[in-house]
């Protein structure tokens, strides 16, 4: 019993104040992927390799659209790996809870 | 190896149709009438464990189904695979379950997935296709399209009944109190002691093996990673190794070391988590809190070195995707702190009478039961089965390192806890060795095209021996059989609980650390 008491005091408080105090993910964390519209060439390579198929590319009215949904993203970083233009990057962002599905899609467009 | 094959070819000469060898796998095509005798001979007389049974639909190429019985010759790092042909028009073959109990679920699985009937099976009920699934529809047959949605029909499942004066039935699940996966447990009790348990699973069968056949090679490893969430690395490594074996690829030594480190990190956090679970279930919340804290420390270490708490996205066919060499010091420092705390915690747990009272002699699995059911992993080792894929079929960099395989004969919850504790310390020592001897060089080689072929991939997951058998054709997966350790171990719970009291069931269950997800593929 005494041993348990000593260990408890020695260990001290282990919980953190998250989410009141934000906690940054470590460097190299595989979080929310981000699309950079100025770099993207709309080559479609990321669409081809994405395992759950959550990146889509469409062309309509002379405009190309690349959409990435976080709903099914598995944060594998395949898209980042194949992109020749560094136009998709996994970020350290991990707070992805949302009330609507629309919030979980990121879209970039380019006029042809 | 040759000696064993020679002796069986001599003995069964008239019944063997073909012998072929590729690397450490010897395939013997035999007549189906003799299969029970041969399996019995290998399993009981030569003491070679049957590690997997699976079927393939080769009606298009060869005009028949085939069933493969994989035996693992541990002493010689080899596999013997017996193969029988089954005519599609008369899809019946002799069941071996009456002689080799370990074949039970495999044969029922093949019956559901391929429609091949094991004649003489003692329990021919459905296993994975539930009663609302129409008869004659078998998802793993090649002519079953993955998009098919069969109509639901009415049907009923017959449970075994235990009757007698004062016998009560307690049904538990498939929906449980906590956030865990579904499974049904039907206890029959006479007073407090359990006199029978029947389990029913596969509520979340996802058709993973069919999915593999419809996915491109580069994406398949991510599917393997998600079969059993906390055994991600093991599944990914077993998958990649099978592919690399088919391609005759030797991955760079640095990648082998990194794989070893990842596999051991996975084992550490799983085992500590299981110990936390056992402490929780005996209401020793102090021990549970400390064990959970240690587990969290390992998960955060994982996140810092790989970017993923569960070490996902690291393995690929041809090596690993991220180098962790630069994090060497960080890993060593963190692990030495974790090891110090872990040892203290184990000392404390085992000197707490209220915990020991609950775990000693509880949930005993006797050695003969464990052998008969082919129980694998730490649970098997706690029941005296001295097997470990890392030592018996060395892969990744295990050949280069020294490690002990703890074994105990007691077979109770206490023994399983000790084995896990010892394995954690061995794992930490393994990681240290791998880091100290980390070779320089590449971490992956290009693997775009995989030739046609088939091979076994295997790995010792935290839960035990994990086996993949993959056949590729035209840069696609033709068949991928996955055998998760839980598929072997689940049935052992029916024996472990006998004569124990109902309140001890959660501890026994936890100590067996069974995965629903890996089982209900
Ligand atoms: S993000 Fe990269 S890979 Fe994807 S379309 Fe744009 S340029 Fe191509
Ligand atoms: S991280 Fe993986 S799953 Fe997510 S968008 Fe990129 S390729 Fe697809």
Distance separating alpha carbons of residues A81 and A79, to the nearest angstrom: 5
Chain A: residue whose CA lies nearest to B216? A51
- The verdict on B99 and B223 lying in the same domain is no
Mutate which: B214, B216, B219, B352, vs A, most A CBs within 10 A: B219
Tens-digit pLDDT string for chain A (112 aa): 788 888 888 888 888 899 999 988 998 899 999 999 888 998 989 999 999 999 999 988 888 899 999 989 999 999 999 999 999 999 999 998 889 888 889 888 888 7
Q: With respect to residue A33, please indicate whether it lies within any of the assigned structural domains.
A: yes
Distance from CA of A101 to the nearest CA of B (A): 23
pLDDT at site B1:
61
Sequential DSSP letters for A16-85: --TTTS--PPPTT----EEE-TTT-----HHHHH-TT--EEEEEETTEEEEEEESSS-----HHHHH-TT
Q: With respect to residue B481, please indicate whether it lies within any of the assigned structural domains.
A: yes
Measuring from each residue's beta carbon to the nearest atom of ligand 1, which residues come in under 6 Å? Answer: A 40-46, 66, 82-83, 85, 87-88
- pLDDT digits 0-9 by tens, B319-362: 999 998 888 999 999 999 999 999 999 998 898 888 888 998 89
Residue owning the nearest CA to atom 4 of ligand 2: A73
Q: With respect to residue B67, please indicate whether it lies within any of the assigned structural domains.
A: yes
Parallel, antiparallel, or unpaired for β B78-87 and B25-30?
parallel
Task: Please state the atom number of ligand 2 nearest to the C-alpha of residue A74.
Answer: 3
- pLDDT digits 0-9 by tens, B386-411: 999 999 999 988 999 999 999 999 99
Domain C-terminal end among B99, B119, B139:
B119
- The verdict on B278 and B399 lying in the same domain is yes
C-alpha pair distances (Å), B181 with each of B174, B175, B201, B205, B518: 8, 8, 10, 11, 11
Percentage of chain B with pLDDT > 70? 100
Task: Give the 3-state secondary structure of residue B20.
Answer: strand
The CB of A53 under 6 Å from ligand 2? The reply is no
Chain A residues inside the 8 Å CB shell of B322: 28
Q: With respect to residue B355, please indicate whether it lies within any of the assigned structural domains.
A: yes
- The verdict on B115 and B215 lying in the same domain is no
CATH number at residue A54: 3.30.70.3270
Q: With respect to residue A77, please indicate whether it lies within any of the assigned structural domains.
A: yes
Q: With respect to residue B289, please indicate whether it lies within any of the assigned structural domains.
A: yes
Quote the number of domains for chain A.
1
Domain, as residue range, for A70: 25-111
- The verdict on B110 and B237 lying in the same domain is no
CATH number at residue B8: 3.30.460.80
Whether chain B has a CB inside 8 Å of the CB on A102: the answer is no
Residue owning the nearest CA to atom 3 of ligand 2: A73
Q: With respect to residue B459, please indicate whether it lies within any of the assigned structural domains.
A: yes
Distance from CA of B308 to the nearest CA of A (A): 6
Check A49 against B344: CB less than 8 A apart.
no
Sequential DSSP letters for B454-498: EEEEEEEETTEEEEEEEEEETTEEEEEEEE-HHHHHTTHHHHHTT
Q: With respect to residue B199, please indicate whether it lies within any of the assigned structural domains.
A: no
- The verdict on B107 and B214 lying in the same domain is no
CATH number at residue B414: 1.10.645.10
Whether chain B has a CB inside 8 Å of the CB on A61: the answer is no
User: pLDDT averaged over chain B?
Assistant: 91
- The verdict on B90 and B224 lying in the same domain is no
Q: Kindly report whether the peptide bond that precedes residue B138 is cis, defined as omega within 30 degrees of 0.
A: no
Q: With respect to residue B278, please indicate whether it lies within any of the assigned structural domains.
A: yes
Domain, as residue range, for B28: 2-119
Q: Strand order in B453-461's β-sheet? A: B453-461, B464-473, B476-483
Q: With respect to residue B164, please indicate whether it lies within any of the assigned structural domains.
A: no
pLDDT at site B431:
94
Distance of CA B194 to the CA centre of its chain: 27
Kindly indicate the confidence band of residue B446, based on its pLDDT and cuts at 50, 70 and 90.
Answer: confident
Chain B: residue whose CA lies nearest to A11? B290
Quote the number of domains for chain B.
2
Q: With respect to residue A5, please indicate whether it lies within any of the assigned structural domains.
A: no
Of all ligands present, the nearest one to the C-alpha of A79 is: 2
Chain B residues inside the 8 Å CB shell of A26: 303-304, 307
- According to DSSP, the residues that pair with A64 across neighbouring strands are A59, A110
């Amino acid at each position: 019993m005494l041993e348990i008491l000593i260990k408890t005091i020695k260990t001290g408080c282990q919980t953190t104040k998250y989410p009141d105090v934000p906690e940054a993910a470590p460097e190299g964390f595989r979080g929310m992927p981000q699309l950079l519209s100025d770099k993207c060439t709309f080559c479609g390579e990321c669409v081809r390799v994405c395992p759950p198929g959550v990146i889509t590319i469409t062309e309509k009215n002379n405009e190309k659209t690349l959409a990435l949904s976080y709903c099914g993203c598995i944060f594998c970083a395949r898209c980042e790996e194949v992109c020749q233009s560094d136009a998709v990057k996994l970020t350290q962002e991990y707070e992805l809870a949302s009330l609507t599905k629309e919030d979980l899609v990121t879209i970039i467009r380019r006029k042809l | 190896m040759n000696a064993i094959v020679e002796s069986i070819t001599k003995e069964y000469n008239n019944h063997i149709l073909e012998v072929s060898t590729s690397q450490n796998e010897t395939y013997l095509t035999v007549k189906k009438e003799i299969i029970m005798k041969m399996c019995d001979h290998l399993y009981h007389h030569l003491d070679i464990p049957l590690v997997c049974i699976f079927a393939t639909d080769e009606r298009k190429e060869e005009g028949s189904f085939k069933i493969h019985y994989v035996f693992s010759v541990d002493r010689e790092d080899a596999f013997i695979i017996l193969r029988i042909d089954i005519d599609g028009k008369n899809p019946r073959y002799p069941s071996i379950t009456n002689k080799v109990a370990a074949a039970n679920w495999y044969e029922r699985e093949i019956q559901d997935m391929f429609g091949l009937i094991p004649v003489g099976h003692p329990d021919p009920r459905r296993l994975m296709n539930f009663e609302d699934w129409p008869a004659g529809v078998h998802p793993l047959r090649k002519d079953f399209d993955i998009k098919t949605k069969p109509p639901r029909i009415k049907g009923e499942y017959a449970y075994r009944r235990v009757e007698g004066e004062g016998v009560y039935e307690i049904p538990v699940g498939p929906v449980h109190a906590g956030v865990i996966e579904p499974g049904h447990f039907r206890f029959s009790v006479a007073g407090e002691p359990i006199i029978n348990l029947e389990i029913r699973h596969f509520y979340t069968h996802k058709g993973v093996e069919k999915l593999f056949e419809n996915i491109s090679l580069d994406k398949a490893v991510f599917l393997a990673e998600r079969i059993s969430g906390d055994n991600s690395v093991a599944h990914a490594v077993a998958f990649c190794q099978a592919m690399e074996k088919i391609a005759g690829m030797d991955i760079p030594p640095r990648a082998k070391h990194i794989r070893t480190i990842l596999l051991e990190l996975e084992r550490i956090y799983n085992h500590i988590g299981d110990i936390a679970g056992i402490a929780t279930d005996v209401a020793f919340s102090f021990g549970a809190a400390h064990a959970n804290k240690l587990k969290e420390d390992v998960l955060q270490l994982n996140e810092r070195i790989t970017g993923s708490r569960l070490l996902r996205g690291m393995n690929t066919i041809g090596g690993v995707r991220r180098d962790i060499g630069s994090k060497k010091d960080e890993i060593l420092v963190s692990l030495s702190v974790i090891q110090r705390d872990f040892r203290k915690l184990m000392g404390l747990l085992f000197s707490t009478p209220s915990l020991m009272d609950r775990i000693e002699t509880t949930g005993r699995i006797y050695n003969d039961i464990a052998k008969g059911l082919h129980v694998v992993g730490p649970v098997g080792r706690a029941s005296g089965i001295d097997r470990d894929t890392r030592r018996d079929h060395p892969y990744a960099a295990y050949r280069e390192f020294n490690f002990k395989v703890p074994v105990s004969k007691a077979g109770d919850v206490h023994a399983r806890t000790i084995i896990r504790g010892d394995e954690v310390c061995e794992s930490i020592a393994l990681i240290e060795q791998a880091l100290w001897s980390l070779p320089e060089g590449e971490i992956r080689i290009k693997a775009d095209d995989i030739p046609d072929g088939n091979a076994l991939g295997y790995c010792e997951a935290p839960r035990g021996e994990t086996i993949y058998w993959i056949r590729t054709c035209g840069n696609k997966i033709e068949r991928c059989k996955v055998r998760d350790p839980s598929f072997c171990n689940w049935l052992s719970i029916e024996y472990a609980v006998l004569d124990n009291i109902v309140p001890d069931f959660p501890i026994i269950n936890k100590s067996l650390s069974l995965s629903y997800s890996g089982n209900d593929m």
